[in-house]
Amino acid sequence: MLLYNATFNGNRVQGALNIDYDESTDLGKSQGIESNGRTRYYNRMVQYLESHPECNVVMWSWCSISSGQIERYLDNFEALINDPDYQDVTFVFMSGYADGYDNVRQKSEQIVAFCKERGYFCLDYWNQDTHDYDNNTFDPTINANNNTRNGNWMRAFSRQEGEVWFQCRHYRTGETKYPAHCDSQRDHLTGNIRAYAAWWLFSRIAGWDGTLTD
């Protein structure tokens, strides 16, 4: 079994993280209520789960949540969690990336607090984007599209590739590619942190107890 093995093409591999994704339903743009009283993204998720019974983990991913209706997001997701038909599925919440707006901080904190209170999984992009690795503080004014803090930290300590960061690469072609909402060399670090957090989370879901070994 390969370490960090993953597929993205729908061909399942035993022992790998098999990822399907749908980019057509933006949480920030498809929050209207449909005839059954649920959002479009809720109904699309039900359709997907009904046709993919092998799916055991679901994560709804935000872009910017500055205009997002958080209460509706939390309500729709929790409805799926409580549905008897999906008790074998683990649902993962997600906060939005840092784009410099104060309400993004407030909305991200609302999602995180909701998950902590109920014991739900959450991939917290906002905290990852605003964290200062040098002094373990957070800067809520940071915009992940222009994360000068990461660049300053890397230059100040001459952080070389392979020491604390690696080039981010396209998941299909392998070519060097900056992650979403990152656009310069300093943002390889941001992409690395996001990837580390995601693999940690999926490993815990798969049964790892979090114990680190050499």
Can you list the domains of the chain with their CATH numbers? 6-206 (3.40.50)
Q: pLDDT at residue 28 above 60?
A: no
Q: What is the pLDDT of residues 139-177, one digit of tens each?
A: 777 776 666 666 677 767 777 777 777 888 887 788 888
Residue labelled with tokens 């798969």: 206
Q: Which residue has the higher pLDDT, 153 or 46?
A: 46
Q: Tell how strand 57-59 and strand 90-94 pair up.
A: parallel
Per-residue confidence band for 123, with pLDDT thresholds at 50, 70 and 90? very high
* Full-model pTM: 0.84
Of the two residues 62 and 186, the one the predictor is more confident about is 62
C-alpha dihedral (97, 5, 170, 18), degrees to nearest 10: -70
